[in-house]
C-alpha cells in the first residue's frame, strides 16, 4: 500500500511539473510576439484540437485580412465584405498546408484536456507556397493543352488558375519572370477572340430538326477540343468541337433561326470539385468574367460556304490537270457512303463491308430498338452493342453521305471516322464522336466502338514509324477504344474480359491486388510519389462496385485527353497507357489521371494494373510505367 501511494504521489507531482512547464512555455510564446496561437479546453483531445486550430486560423486571418483588402477588387468583385471573416474562410482552404507547420502543447485541465496550437509568424508565408505551386502546375498543364490546340481544356485550367490565385494575398504572382496575374487573363482573351465557326453543311432533316456542321478554328488552327453552349429550342446544351469540327443540332421552333448565338465555355461550374481547392473557393473569391459570346449569321455563312466549295473544286481540277492530285487512296460513293480506300480489297469483301455499313446507317437513322434486334437475331453481341449505343448514348450519325476510310487491320478491316453525336439529357450535354466499325477478313461486321480523335490517331501513326511497332500500337488503339466504349455502354462482360484475374487495382492512391500469378511490384520513384498500401481487393469486387455505379446513373459520359503510350523497354509486349480522363454522370463529375499497364503477350490483351488518381496534377506524383518492376 505504501508503494502504491508513493507511486501515485510521484505521478501527481510529475503532472504538476509538466503542467507548470507547459504554462511557462505558453506564456513565453504568447509574450514573444513571434507566434500566432490558439488554445481550447474540451472533453476530448480531438475536439480541443479542432477548436484551438479554429482560434489559430482566426488569429492569422486578422493579420492577413489587411493584405486581402489591398487586392479586394480582384478577389471579391468589390463586394462589401468582412475581411477578417473572408480571410478566415480563405485560410480554411489551406488546412492541409497549415497543419504541416503547426506545433502543439497538451496538458490536463480539471478532468479535461487543454490543447495549445502555435506557429511562427515567419512560417505563415510558407502556407501559401503550396497554393502557388498548384497554380504553377495547372498553368503549365494549360500551356500544354493550348500547344496541342486543346483550347477547351486550356481555357478551363487557365480559369481555375485565376480562382486559385485570388486566394493568395499578393498583388502579383510571378513565375519564371512571368506575371501570371496578367498573363493568364491575356491568354484566355486571346483564345476567345480567335474562335471562328465556319459553316460546312446545313441540313434540315424535317420541319422540327436541323443539323448545322461547322469547322472550328482558333487563330486559324483547328480546335482539337473546344466546349461551347447554345440554345437548341428547349434547353441550353453543352457541346464540344473535336478535330476542328462542331455540330449544332436544333429542334422545334429554333430550326428557323438565322442568327446562331454561341457561348465558348471557359467557366465549368460542374467541374469545380475536380480540384478540391477550386471547389472550396468557388463561392468565396471573384470568378473572372470574359467576353465569350459569338454570333454566327447563318445566311452569310451559307454564301461563304458556296464560295469555299467553288474554290475547292477549282483547286481539285487544277491538281488533276497537273497530275499532282493525291493518289494515296481511292474515293468512291456507295449510296449514302463516301469511302476512301487506302489498300487493295477484293471486290466481294468490299461489297460485304458496304452492305453492312448501309444497314448500320439505317439503324442509327431510325434509332429503332426493334429493328436492331431483328437485324442481328443470331448475334447477341452486336444486337446488344447497337442497342446500348442508341439507348444509353442517343447516338446519331451526322454526315449523310457518311464519310470515312477503310483500313486494313491486324485481324481484318475497319471503317474509321464516321462522324456522330451523342446526347445526354440529364447533364444537358452533347458530344461529338467518331464511330469505328470493325470487320473480319471476309467483310462481316464484328464490332462498333467510339474512336479516338483523328489528330491523336495520326500522332500514333507517326510514333510507330520511329518505334517500328505499328501493329502493337494499333492493338492498343483498338483496345482503348473498346475500353472506353465498354464504360459508355455499361458492358460488364467486356470489362470482365479486359481485366486479368490477378489485376492490380489502384483506386485513389491505394493499390489493391488479389492473388497474383504475374508479379507487378510498385516502386516509388520520387519524393512526391504517393504512398501505396497493398490490400486484398479482387477483380470481382471491383466489377461489382462498377456495376453499382452504372445502375445508379441515368447518363454517363467518359472522355479522354493527353493520351500517351509508353513501351516497357525490358519487357516485350508490355505497355503503359496514361491519359487525363474526365467523367460526367447524372449525379457526379470528376477528372483525374488514369494509368493502365497492359500485357499484350496473352492471347487477349489484359489489364494488370489500373490506377486512378482523381484531382492529381503534380507530374512527380503520378503513377506511371516506371513505377512497376515486372517479374514473370
- Asked if the structure places residue 554 within a domain, the reply is yes
Q: How far apart are CA 3 and CA 166, in angstroms?
A: 64
Q: Where residue 522 sits, what CATH number does that domain have?
A: 3.10.450.50
Check if the beta carbon of residue 137 is closer than 8 Å to that of residue 143: no
Alpha carbon distance 417, 313 (integer Å):
23
Residue 75 has a pLDDT of: 67
If asked whether residues 578 and 499 sit together in one domain, one would say yes
CA nearest neighbour of 465 among 454, 456, 473: 473
Cα 338 from Cα 371, distance rounded (Å): 24
Mean pLDDT value across residues 238-247? 92
Residue 472 within any structural domain of the chain? no
| Average confidence (pLDDT) over 308-314 | 81
Domain that holds residue 242: 148-297
Look over the chain and give the mean of its residue pLDDT values, rounded to a whole number.
83
Each residue of 394-451: pLDDT tens digit?
Answer: 999 887 778 888 999 988 999 998 899 999 999 888 999 999 999 999 999 999 999 9
Does residue 587 register a pLDDT over 90? no
Query: Residue 512 and residue 502: Cα distance in Å, rounded?
Result: 11
Residue found under cell 505521478: 11
End-to-end CA distance of the chain: 66
What number is the average pLDDT over the span 360-383?
84
Instruction: Please give the grid coordinates belonging to residue 330.
Output: 481511292
Length of the chain: 632
- Given a cut of 90, whether residue 175 has pLDDT beyond it is no
Give the pLDDT band (50/70/90) at residue 268: confident
Q: How many Å apart are CA 70 and CA 171, to the nearest integer?
A: 8
Query: How many Å apart are CA 57 and CA 37, to the nearest integer?
Result: 8
For residue 104, what pLDDT is reported? 92
269, burial (CB in 10 Å: exposed 0-12, middle 13-18, buried 19+) = exposed
Identify whether 23 is part of a domain.
Answer: yes
Whether residues 552 and 515 fall in one domain = yes
**Residue 520 is assigned to a structural domain of this protein:** yes
Q: For residue 130, give every residue at least 6 positions away whose Cβ sits within 8 Å of its Cβ, in sequence order, or none.
A: 94, 96, 97
Whether 154 and 293 share a structural domain: yes
pLDDT in tens, 27-53: 999 999 899 899 999 999 999 998 998
pLDDT confidence of residue 615 = 67
Instruction: Output the pLDDT for position 485.
Output: 96
- 397 is a domain residue: no
Q: What is the pLDDT of residue 247?
A: 93
Say which residue the cell 480523335 belongs to.
Answer: 453
Tally of CB atoms within 10 A around 188: 21
Query: Per-residue pLDDT for 163 more than 60?
Result: yes
Report residue 487 as a C-alpha cell.
464504360
- pLDDT category at 461 given cuts 50, 70, 90 is confident
Least confident of 116-120, 280-284, 365-369, 370-374: 365-369
Nearest to 89 by CA among 103, 75, 99: 75
Going from the C-alpha of 254 to that of each of 233, 296, 469, the distances in angstroms are 5, 14, 50
* Helix/strand/coil (H/E/C) assignment for every residue in 149-180: CCHHHHHHHHHHHHHHHCCCCCCCCEECCEEH
For the domain that residue 90 is a member of, what is the CATH number? Answer: 3.10.28.20
Do 111 and 193 share a domain, yes or no?
no
**Domain boundary pick from 275, 297, 319:** 297
Residue 21 inside a domain? The answer is yes
Task: Indicate the pLDDT class of residue 245, thresholds 50, 70 and 90.
Answer: very high
Rounded CA separation 552/632 (Å): 39
User: What kind and span of H or E run contains 392?
Assistant: helix 380-393
Q: Is the pLDDT of residue 63 over 50?
A: yes
* Residues 195, 60 within the same domain: no
106 and 184, same domain (yes or no): no
**CA pair distance 25, 3, nearest whole angstrom:** 33
The last residue of one of the domains, among 297, 328, 348, is 297
Q: Which three cell numbers stand for residue 274?
A: 475536380
Q: Is residue 111 domain-shared with residue 197, that is, in the same domain?
A: no
- Measured in degrees and rounded to the nearest 5, phi and psi for residue 313 equal -65, -40
User: Residues 509-536: pLDDT tens digits?
Assistant: 455 544 445 556 666 666 666 655 434 4
Minimal CA–CA distance to 436: which of 422, 455, 417?
Answer: 417
Lowest mean pLDDT among 503-507, 559-563, 597-601, 623-627: 503-507
Nearest partner of 350 among 360, 339, 363, judged by Cα: 339
10 and 102 assigned to the same domain: yes
Does 284 lie in the same domain as 225? Answer: yes
Both 24 and 156 in a single domain?
A: no
Task: Tell me how far apart the alpha carbons of residues 379 and 528 are, in angstroms, rounded to a whole number.
Answer: 50
Residue ranges in 228-346 assigned as alpha helix (H): 276-281, 298-322
580 φ, ψ (degrees, to nearest 5): -85, 130
Beta-carbon contacts of residue 450 (< 8 Å; ≥ 6 apart): 433, 434, 435, 436, 481, 484, 485, 488
> For residue 255, is it within any domain?
yes
Q: Are residues 58 and 187 in the same domain?
A: no
Q: Which pLDDT band, with edges at 50, 70 and 90, does 1 fall under?
A: low
**How many helices, marked H, and strands, marked E, lie in the chain?**
17, 29
Grid cell of 339 as nine digits: 469511302
| Exposed/middle/buried for residue 127 (C-beta within 10 Å: 0-12, 13-18, 19+) | buried
Distance of CA 405 to the CA centre of its chain: 29
Q: Which residue has the higher pLDDT, 615 or 556?
A: 556
In a domain, 578, yes or no: yes
Is 252 in the same domain as 172?
yes
Number of C-alpha atoms within 13 angstroms, CB side, residue 378? 1
Say yes or no to pLDDT of 628 above 80.
Answer: no
Query: Which of 297, 320, 350 is at the close of a domain?
Result: 297
d(CA 539, CA 135): 37
The better pLDDT of the pair 500, 5 is held by: 500
Max Cα-Cα span within the chain: 117
Could you give the CA distance from residue 504 to residue 594 in angstroms, rounded to a whole number? 13
Question: Is the model's pLDDT at 602 over the cut of 90?
Answer: no
Tell me the C-alpha distance between 68 and 166, whole Å. Answer: 9
Could you tell me if 430 and 239 are in contact, meaning their C-beta atoms sit under 8 angstroms apart? yes
Work out whether the CA dihedral 613, 617, 620, 625 comes out positive or negative: positive
SS3 state at 462: helix
Number of structural domains in the chain: 3
What helix, strand, coil percent values describe the chain, rounded to 5?
45, 30, 25
Q: Read out DSSP for 58-101? A: HHHHHHHHHHHHHTHHHHHTT----HHHHHHHHHHTTHHHHHTT
Amino acid at each position: 500500500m505504501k508503494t502504491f501511494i508513493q507511486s501515485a504521489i510521484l505521478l501527481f507531482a510529475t503532472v504538476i511539473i509538466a503542467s507548470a512547464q507547459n504554462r511557462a512555455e505558453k506564456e513565453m510564446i504568447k509574450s514573444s510576439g513571434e507566434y500566432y496561437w490558439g488554445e481550447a479546453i474540451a472533453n476530448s483531445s480531438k475536439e480541443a484540437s479542432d477548436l484551438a486550430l479554429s482560434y489559430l486560423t482566426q488569429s492569422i486571418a486578422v493579420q492577413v485580412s489587411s493584405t486581402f483588402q489591398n487586392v479586394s477588387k480582384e478577389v471579391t468583385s468589390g463586394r462589401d465584405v468582412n475581411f477578417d471573416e473572408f480571410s478566415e474562410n480563405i485560410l480554411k482552404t489551406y488546412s492541409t498546408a497549415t497543419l504541416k507547420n503547426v506545433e502543439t502543447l497538451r496538458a490536463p485541465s480539471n478532468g479535461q484536456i487543454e490543447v495549445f496550437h502555435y506557429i511562427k509568424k515567419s512560417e505563415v508565408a510558407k502556407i501559401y507556397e503550396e497554393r502557388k505551386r498548384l497554380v504553377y502546375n495547372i498553368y503549365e498543364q494549360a500551356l500544354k493543352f493550348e500547344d496541342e490546340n486543346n483550347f477547351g481544356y486550356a481555357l478551363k485550367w487557365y480559369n481555375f488558375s485565376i480562382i486559385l490565385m485570388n486566394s493568395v494575398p499578393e498583388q502579383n504572382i510571378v513565375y519564371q519572370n512571368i506575371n501570371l496575374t496578367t498573363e493568364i487573363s491575356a491568354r484566355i482573351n486571346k483564345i476567345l477572340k480567335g474562335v471562328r465557326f465556319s459553316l460546312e453543311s446545313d441540313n434540315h432533316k424535317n420541319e422540327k430538326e436541323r443539323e448545322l456542321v461547322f469547322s472550328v478554328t482558333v487563330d486559324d488552327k483547328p480546335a482539337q477540343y473546344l466546349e461551347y453552349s447554345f440554345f437548341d429550342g428547349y434547353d441550353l446544351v453543352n457541346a464540344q468541337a473535336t478535330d476542328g469540327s462542331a455540330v449544332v443540332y436544333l429542334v422545334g421552333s429554333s430550326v428557323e433561326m438565322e442568327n446562331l448565338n454561341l457561348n465558348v465555355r471557359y467557366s465549368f461550374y460542374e467541374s469545380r470539385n475536380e480540384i478540391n481547392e477550386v471547389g472550396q473557393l468557388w463561392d468565396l473569391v471573384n470568378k473572372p468574367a470574359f467576353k465569350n459570346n459569338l454570333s454566327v449569321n447563318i445566311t452569310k455563312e451559307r454564301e461563304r460556304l458556296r464560295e469555299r466549295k467553288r474554290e475547292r473544286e477549282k483547286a481539285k481540277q487544277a491538281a488533276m490537270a497537273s497530275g499532282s492530285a493525291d493518289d494515296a487512296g481511292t474515293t468512291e460513293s456507295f449510296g449514302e457512303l463516301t469511302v476512301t480506300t487506302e489498300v487493295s480489297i477484293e471486290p466481294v469483301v468490299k461489297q460485304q463491308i458496304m452492305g453492312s455499313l448501309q444497314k448500320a446507317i439505317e439503324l442509327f437513322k431510325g434509332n429503332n430498338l426493334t429493328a436492331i434486334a431483328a437485324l442481328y437475331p443470331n448475334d447477341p453481341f452486336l444486337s446488344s452493342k447497337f442497342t446500348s449505343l442508341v439507348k444509353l448514348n442517343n447516338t446519331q450519325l451526322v454526315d449523310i453521305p457518311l464519310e470515312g476510310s477503310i483500313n486494313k487491320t491486324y485481324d481484318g478491316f475497319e471503317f474509321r471516322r464516321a462522324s456522330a453525336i451523342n446526347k445526354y439529357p440529364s447533364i444537358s450535354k452533347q458530344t461529338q464522336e467518331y464511330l469505328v466499325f470493325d470487320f473480319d477478313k471476309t467483310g462481316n461486321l464484328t464490332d462498333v466502338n467510339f474512336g479516338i480523335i483523328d489528330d491523336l490517331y495520326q500522332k500514333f501513326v507517326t510514333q510507330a514509324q520511329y518505334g517500328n511497332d505499328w501493329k502493337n500500337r494499333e492493338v492498343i488503339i483498338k483496345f482503348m477504344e473498346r475500353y472506353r466504349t465498354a464504360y459508355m455502354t455499361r458492358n460488364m462482360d467486356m470489362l470482365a474480359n479486359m481485366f486479368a484475374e490477378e489485376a492490380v487495382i489502384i483506386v485513389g492512391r491505394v493499390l489493391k491486388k488479389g492473388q497474383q500469378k504475374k508479379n507487378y511490384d510498385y516502386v516509388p520513384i520520387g519524393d512526391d510519389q504517393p504512398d501505396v498500401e497493398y490490400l486484398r481487393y479482387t477483380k470481382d469486387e471491383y466489377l461489382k462496385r462498377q456495376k453499382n455505379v452504372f445502375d445508379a446513373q441515368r447518363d454517363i459520359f467518359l472522355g479522354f485527353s493527353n493520351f500517351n503510350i509508353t513501351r516497357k523497354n525490358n519487357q516485350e509486349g508490355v505497355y503503359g497507357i496514361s491519359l487525363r480522363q474526365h467523367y460526367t454522370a447524372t449525379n457526379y463529375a470528376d477528372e483525374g489521371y488514369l494509368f493502365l499497364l497492359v500485357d499484350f503477350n496473352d492471347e487477349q490483351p489484359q489489364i494488370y494494373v489500373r490506377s486512378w488518381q482523381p484531382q492529381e496534377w503534380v507530374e512527380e506524383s503520378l503513377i506511371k510505367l516506371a513505377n512497376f518492376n515486372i517479374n514473370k
